[in-house]
Copies of this chain bind each other. A is one copy, B any other.
Amino acid sequence: MASSIPLRPVAEPHCNECSLVALCMPRELTDAELIKVDQIVTRGRTLHAGEALFRQGDPALSIYSLRSGALKSTAVSDKGQEQVTAFHLPGEMVGLSASEGDAYPVTTLALDTSAVCEVSFARLDNLSAYMPTLRRHFLRLMSREIRDSQQMMLLLSKKTAEQRMATLLLDLSARYRTRGYSATSFRLSMSRHDIADYLGLAVETVSRVLTRFAQAGLIAVDGKQIDFLIAPGDFFARVEEEF
């Protein structure tokens, strides 16, 4: 199955040697600039599954770039209702929903053993003063995050359970692909419960939808292992016509 060449993000201590730098930093950075960036990055924090990178309410002093593993961010309402706002894969920046010095508005937990790089807001801000490329990169990341949330709002308010699940599977598929992993065969790092809280469904519904997809011959499901049986490009159309 996993037929492609996975990127190997670990054990490389510096940005200029890290295979994920193309994902987390702007490509336009010169070598000299990248060295400057590298100097404000703290490496090495490792999280075990279930451990928190930060918690809702903690003062936000840093953002993080995920090197390996997987994370989820969740916002909890006053009444204990939980909304998973994002799943994070290697190469993605985490913590952009916080402002420097304010409280993190979400809790971010490790779904697997994970390693992160830490970047202090203050040092990043200083550097961005004379590095326009860097400055614009982060604005771009933030605007993308706004866009993604808006797409999520559309999903939550208008799509059926099947369309939601299909959207998630295709999103993960595409993100694995850009990371050098298989787009058609992967393991979900999150539980059914996490998926439900992300898609705005009940756990039971998530389970049922996956079963229906499998019965329709679209995917094979074995616990957390997902295998596409048709091309991801055809997936959504098939879901639309069969459900």
Q: Residues of A at under 8 Å CB distance from B?
A: 75, 77, 81, 83, 85, 96-100, 102, 105-106, 125, 128-130, 132, 135-136, 138-140, 142-147, 149-154, 156-158, 199-200
Complex Cα distance, B98 from A226, in Å, reads 34
Flag if A99 contacts B149 (CB, 8 Å): no
Q: List 29 A-B contacts (CB under 8 A).
A: A75-B151, A75-B153, A75-B154, A77-B158, A81-B154, A83-B153, A85-B150, A85-B153, A97-B147, A97-B150, A98-B143, A99-B139, A99-B140, A99-B143, A99-B144, A105-B150, A106-B150, A125-B132, A125-B136, A125-B139, A129-B130, A146-B146, A146-B149, A149-B152, A152-B153, A156-B156, A156-B157, A157-B200, A158-B200
User: Are B97 and A146 in contact, CB atoms less than 8 angstroms apart?
Assistant: yes
Q: By DSSP majority rule, is chain A's interface helix, strand, loop, or mixed?
A: helix
* Residues in chain B near residue A136, CB distance under 8 A: 100, 125
Q: Do the beta carbons of A143 and B96 come within 8 Å of each other? A: yes
Contact A135 B146 (CB under 8 A): no
List the B side residues contacting A100 at CB < 8 Å.
Answer: 136, 139-140
Chain B positions within 8 Å of A147 at CB level: 97, 105
**A146–B146 alpha-carbon span in the complex (Å):** 5
Chain B residues whose CB sits within 8 angstroms of the CB of A154 once the complex forms: 75, 77, 81, 83
Residues of B within 8 A of A149 (CB): 146, 149-150, 152-153
Are A153 and B151 in contact (CB-based, < 8 A)? no
> Would A146 and B96 be within 8 Å (CB), given that A125-B132, A132-B129, A153-B83 are in contact?
yes
